[in-house]
Amino acid sequence: MKNIIKNECKRTIYSKGMAASLTIGLIIIGWHLYQHVWGPGIASENAYCPESVFYRWIGASSFPMQSYLYYLILPLLAVLPGGINYYEDLKTGYLQNIYTRTKRKNYLVAKYISVTVAGGIAVVVPLVVDLYATCMRFPALIPEPIMSFGPERTAFGFQLFYTHPWIHTILFLALDFLFAGAIVGISLVTTFYMEYKFAVLITPFICYYFIYSINSFFPQINFRPNLFLTPGFSDNHIVVPLIGLFLLILIAVFYFWKGERYEAK
């Protein structure tokens, strides 16, 4: 079991998909750092109070184009490293060799661990790079509620943001890692029903954007994953990420159930 998990993690973490995902993510991060952190004319103070890293890094708000774009394409960044690995294993006959050496359950567990870990890494690493680079420019001052930044008063982690912002930031990075990894589970399930790689890759993004679009037409639903995953701009009650996690857990359960019974044609 240990060896197959190690092998599957190597396949995803050191894949071309991971390189592509990190490249796209870091390009957006570099764009953000130039325009909002290190570029010419960036002031260390504003009209209200001294600037802080918690106002400036890419996770501080969804107002900058780079932040909005990054969290909008988050499913694509998460799926690129390993989202089509299971599809390729099924279509190429690789699984037949694997199943002669280990139990099907062991492979399914290893595959799920590898793609979820890779998806989380692909999304969180660029965010950490941006946070670190912003820390080199602005001090980590405690946020003040007079600013036009920060989560809503009813949002999950609101008080923590204004008392222990580092804990709040780390908590949301962990949440981003968890969601990014879990979203890849959609591509694993899609593998059972799609004939083309592109469909497997794009389905998680379509589901993600569909939820976002529903909220645009029905604001009262208030379930926008790209916003509640943004550390400094969350406007959702704790029940929203809990519902999201519950749905993604259901996807994982279905993947294991279907994978135990599925036979490639």
- Encode pLDDT of 64-86 as tens digits: 889 989 998 999 999 999 888 88
Residue 145 sits at φ, ψ, to 5 deg, of -70, -5
**Percent of the chain scoring above 90 in pLDDT:** 21
Residue with tokens 């399930």: 189
SS3 50: strand
Query: How would DSSP label each residue in 124-181?
Result: HHHHHHHHHHHHTTS--PPP-TTSS-S--TTSTTHHHHHH-HHHHHHHHHHHHHHHHH
d(CA 143, CA 141): 6
Q: How far apart are CA 107 and CA 74, in angstroms?
A: 26
What tokens were used for 155? 């949002």
pLDDT of 124 > 90? The answer is yes
Q: Can you give the pTM of this predicted structure?
A: 0.87
262 sits in the region (left: phi over 0; alpha: psi -120 to 50; else beta) called beta
- What whole-number distance in Å separates Cα of residue 84 and Cα of residue 184? 10
Q: In terms of pLDDT, which residue wins out, 49 or 181?
A: 181
pLDDT at 92 over 60: yes
At 50, phi and psi to the nearest 5? -60, 145
pLDDT of res. 154: 66
Domain extent at residue 253: 2-261
Q: Is residue 45 classed as helix, strand or coil in its secondary structure? A: strand
Where would I find the beta strands (DSSP E) of 191-255? none
pLDDT tier at 22, thresholds 50, 70, 90: very high
What is the pLDDT confidence band of residue 149, given thresholds at 50, 70 and 90?
A: low
- Which residue would you say has higher pLDDT here, 240 or 138? 138
**Residue 265 clears pLDDT 60, i.e. is over it:** no
- Residues 196-225 have pLDDT tens digits of 889 888 999 888 888 777 776 666 556 667
The one-letter amino acid code at 69 reads L
* Sign, Cα dihedral of 94, 96, 100, 106: positive
Could you tell me which residue, 43 or 172, shows the higher pLDDT?
A: 172
Q: Which amino acid is at 257?
A: W
The stretch 84-103 carries a mean pLDDT of 79
235 falls in which pLDDT band (50, 70, 90)? low
Contact 86, 191 (CB under 8 A): yes
Total structural domains in the chain? 1
CA atoms within 13 A on the CB side of 162: 13
Confidence of residue 131 (pLDDT cuts 50, 70, 90): very high
Query: Using an 8 Å Cβ cutoff, are 256 and 193 in contact?
Result: no
